[in-house]
Structure 1
Amino acid sequence: MWSVWLSVISLLNVISTHWVYRWRNPKCNGKLPPGSMGIPLIGETLDFLVSNNSLDTPPFIKKRMMKFGPIFRTSLAGRPMVVSSDPKFNYYVFQQGKLVEQWYMDSFAKLLGQDVTRVSSHRNIHKYLRNSILNHVGPEALKNKLLPHLEDAISQKLQGWSKLPSLEVKKSLAVNRQKVVNLITKIYEERKRNPEIGKGDFLDQILMDMKTETFLTDKFIIYVMFGLLLASFETISSTLTLAIKLLSDKPKVVKELTVSDTKRSQIFLK
């Protein structure tokens, strides 16, 4: 009887050892960068989720950059992945889409449903979206079209804020996703039915490109617009919060920024 139990325990030990080894050394057709896969199943998720009040690079990234270099492997939320903090390498990968396999997060795939298979077959989707967005909100567009309007809008908003006893610049985002999607869908369908009411914005461009880009389905466009709104809210509110904090801590900088309208305009246009 003891020999049977000993054999079972030995077998389980071999299986678990092999499983842990395979977890720490995932299969790869090429050569994986250095790194750690963390605890089986959990990976390094707990370390990644540790709160951080620093304005610098997150400790999770900085610690591994110092230990493994700018490119390292890890496992987060049950997914093995490679993290790159090298701008040149990231730019190269984005430019050469055929070098990597297209993959989308589970949440994104769930939103698109069956459309995610069609989208994944087009390796240039990231390049298309990046170029299309930059055409409307990139440096040239900001300089030539948006800055003149932004300066007046920002000035009016700051004057209004200066009269308030306090100001909350970043709230917790509580979005009724379906309500927002329904609103975007309504605008999208109206613009599609009546192209003459177009405003020359990103939505007009993406509607026009539907004639040539097969991955641009109605559902995909609606969720792309939703994603852009969500991303812009988070980045703008976070940047605004950070700017106000830093300016509050550096009154000398605020004084130097208080310049005449002519000089301020010259700074914006550089």
Structure 2
Amino acid sequence: MEFLSSVLLLCISLSIISLYLLLRTSRHRNLRLPPGNLGLPFIGETLQLISAYKTENPEPFIDERVNRFGPIFTTHVFGEPTVFSSDPETNRFILQNEGKLFECSYPSSISNLLGKHSLLLMKGNLHKRMHSLTMSFANSSIIRDHLLDDIDRLIRLNLESWTDRVLLMEEAKKITFELAVKQLMSFDPGEWTESLRKEYVLLIEGFFTVPLPLFSTTYRRAIKARTKVAEALGLIVKQRRKESEEGDGKKDMLAALLAGDDGFSDEQIVDFLLALLVAGYETTSTIMTLAVKFLTETPLALDQLKEEHDQIRAEKKDSLEVLEWNDYKSMPFTQCVVNETLRLANIISGVFRRAMTDIHIKGYTIPKGWKVFASFRAVHLDHEHFKDARTFNPWRWQNNSGGTTNVFTPFGGGPRLCPGYELARVELSVFLHRLVTQFSWVPAEEDKLVFFPTTRTQKRYPINVKRRTMYGEAM
């Protein structure tokens, strides 16, 4: 009897699903969807996307579909029908209509690990307030007056330990994590920060896995790591809340959250800090590593960068004298290198959004509830927008030549423009200054660039380093 009941329940469920799919398909036939291919049932084209992004050259996934269907096409990835856009005008429309026509939407594996109160997942007025607060702690004046000294000091401190062979991506991650912890919670490097960073490594590995602990050991480890990180941050929040009530406060992001009129709970603050640490740690460290990789492969650019920074160093009394804001503002070629690294590396390859209503654009209709992916990468690597788009050429940014800035969106745009965009540029510029004035290097072995689950090098970019003197190489 129990077996028959189970069979009956299964038949009813399948009938309901079939009816739903039939009605949805019928409705979509009446809409002019962007052309494309939904691929296999349930799986769609997810496997093709992942296999492309696990190589050095993921472009064919988009290139082939753009050539066949045009810059806006339909596919089916990560369990949902998705409209891909490689059209800059459409991408701007998506970014600018955040909260009006589109809402933020990410895979559950990411949202579960970051927490519902992370800035990435916040919506409406709460997101506006928290985004504004974050921007206020990462604007030019704050960086100049309060953060630059710590950035320079912590980078120098890390580089002092470098000898012989270095795993550059690993070292860059240590630097950016320590900077983020200092800026958010006023902690200097130590056993606590390093222990926290190791848990973050496990947490981030779970972002692009199947969000089922029973089937994915990576996701299971990530959930455990997330719990440990949340517990560690929760203890700090409780301690700082008590200190704040006693009038012994610090001037950092955590202090601003505790002092806010909104009365944020400990859970909200923990989620918020946890996500900001991910953002500051993962993306900037990758940019640092790839800037060095691209420069190493482009000797003329590296020589010009060294010349710019040697001139700044020559005006200092000694190599340990701190960098000042005027020094940062006198790095024009460095900014060209930063822009070109951001364009070519595409650390943020694009953003997912969900249509809040049927949306009519470019002669097509994006149905309500469908995912949309605005691809920054496809635009940045399009030869129509950037000459020899897949070649590292920092000189293209001199004097804003080529009129490319209107399609350059490495930090997103609209209401969700990355609030740390200026801070990331400063950290990378200071890192490059200290690196090229203190070291020469060569790759220790061949290393390849891959883009899934995140942009990185396969072997963490090992290099052999040698200390420089002011007049050449150390003996």
Structure 2 stretches lacking a partner, 5+ long: 1-16, 174-197, 204-224, 317-322, 331-475
Select 1:268's aligned residue among 310, 328, 344.
328
Higher relative contact order (CA 8 A, sep 6+): 2
Structure 1 residues 184 and 24: CA distance shift in structure 2, 3 A? farther
Residue 199 (str. 1) matches residue 250 (str. 2): yes
Using the TM superposition, give the Cα deviation of residue 187 of structure 1 relative to its aligned residue in structure 2, in angstroms. Answer: 0.8
Structure 1 residues 256 and 194: CA distance shift in structure 2, 3 A? same
Q: Secondary structure at the match of 1:75?
A: strand
**Relative to structure 2, which stretch is displaced further, 255-264 or 40-49?**
255-264
- Name the CA distance, whole Å, in 1 between partners of 2:251 and 2:293: 36
- Name the CA distance, whole Å, in 2 between partners of 1:178 and 1:191: 20
* Number of the residue aligned with 2:235: 186
TM-score by length of 1: 0.69
Structure 1 residues 143 and 58: CA distance shift in structure 2, 3 A? farther
Structure 1 residues 217 and 73: CA distance shift in structure 2, 3 A? farther
- Name the CA distance, whole Å, in 2 between partners of 1:177 and 1:197: 29
More strand as a share of residues: 2
Structure 1 residues 90 and 148: CA distance shift in structure 2, 3 A? farther
Using the TM superposition, give the Cα deviation of residue 48 of structure 1 relative to its aligned residue in structure 2, in angstroms. Answer: 1.4
Structure 1 stretches lacking a partner, 5+ long: 1-14
* Number of the residue aligned with 1:212: 262
Q: Are 2:169 and 2:289, in contact at CA under 8 Å, matched by a contact in 1?
A: yes
- Name the CA distance, whole Å, in 1 between partners of 2:26 and 2:45: 12
Structure 1 residues 153 and 98: CA distance shift in structure 2, 3 A? same
* Number of the residue aligned with 1:174: 202
Q: Are 1:64 and 1:72, in contact at CA under 8 Å, matched by a contact in 2?
A: yes
Percentage identity across paired residues of the two chains: 31
Please provide the CA RMSD for this pair.
4.1
Select 1:238's aligned residue among 276, 286, 298.
286
Using the TM superposition, give the Cα deviation of residue 69 of structure 1 relative to its aligned residue in structure 2, in angstroms. Answer: 5.0
Kindly provide the amino acid, as one letter, of the partner of residue 164 in structure 1. D
Residue 89 (str. 1) matches residue 71 (str. 2): no
Kindly provide the amino acid, as one letter, of the partner of residue 128 in structure 1. R
Using the TM superposition, give the Cα deviation of residue 65 of structure 1 relative to its aligned residue in structure 2, in angstroms. Answer: 4.6
Using the TM superposition, give the Cα deviation of residue 76 of structure 1 relative to its aligned residue in structure 2, in angstroms. Answer: 1.8
* Number of the residue aligned with 1:106: 108
Kindly provide the amino acid, as one letter, of the partner of residue 143 in structure 2. L
Using the TM superposition, give the Cα deviation of residue 136 of structure 1 relative to its aligned residue in structure 2, in angstroms. Answer: 1.8
Q: Are 1:24 and 1:37, in contact at CA under 8 Å, matched by a contact in 2?
A: no
Kindly provide the amino acid, as one letter, of the partner of residue 190 in structure 1. Q
Using the TM superposition, give the Cα deviation of residue 235 of structure 1 relative to its aligned residue in structure 2, in angstroms. Answer: 0.9
Kindly provide the amino acid, as one letter, of the partner of residue 282 in structure 2. E
Q: Are 1:24 and 1:38, in contact at CA under 8 Å, matched by a contact in 2?
A: no
Kindly provide the amino acid, as one letter, of the partner of residue 262 in structure 2. T
- Name the CA distance, whole Å, in 2 between partners of 1:145 and 1:218: 26
* Number of the residue aligned with 1:146: 147
Using the TM superposition, give the Cα deviation of residue 33 of structure 1 relative to its aligned residue in structure 2, in angstroms. Answer: 4.3
Structure 1 residues 224 and 120: CA distance shift in structure 2, 3 A? closer
Q: Secondary structure at the match of 1:145?
A: helix
Q: Are 2:114 and 2:275, in contact at CA under 8 Å, matched by a contact in 1?
A: no
Using the TM superposition, give the Cα deviation of residue 111 of structure 1 relative to its aligned residue in structure 2, in angstroms. Answer: 5.9
Using the TM superposition, give the Cα deviation of residue 248 of structure 1 relative to its aligned residue in structure 2, in angstroms. Answer: 1.9
- Name the CA distance, whole Å, in 1 between partners of 2:290 and 2:114: 34
Q: Are 1:84 and 1:90, in contact at CA under 8 Å, matched by a contact in 2?
A: no
Kindly provide the amino acid, as one letter, of the partner of residue 53 in structure 1. E
Using the TM superposition, give the Cα deviation of residue 126 of structure 1 relative to its aligned residue in structure 2, in angstroms. Answer: 3.6
- Name the CA distance, whole Å, in 2 between partners of 1:120 and 1:247: 35
Once the two structures are superposed, residues 78-126 of structure 1 have per-residue CA deviations (whole angstroms, 9 ceiling, x without a partner) of 12334445352243123xx23335656424664699x78xx98952344
Using the TM superposition, give the Cα deviation of residue 224 of structure 1 relative to its aligned residue in structure 2, in angstroms. Answer: 2.1
Q: Secondary structure at the match of 1:224?
A: helix
- Name the CA distance, whole Å, in 2 between partners of 1:190 and 1:226: 17
Structure 1 residues 40 and 248: CA distance shift in structure 2, 3 A? same
**Relative to structure 2, which stretch is displaced further, 103-112 or 179-188?**
103-112
Q: Are 2:94 and 2:102, in contact at CA under 8 Å, matched by a contact in 1?
A: no
How many residues in Structure 1 have an aligned counterpart in Structure 2?
A: 245
More helix as a share of residues: 1
Q: Are 1:143 and 1:269, in contact at CA under 8 Å, matched by a contact in 2?
A: no
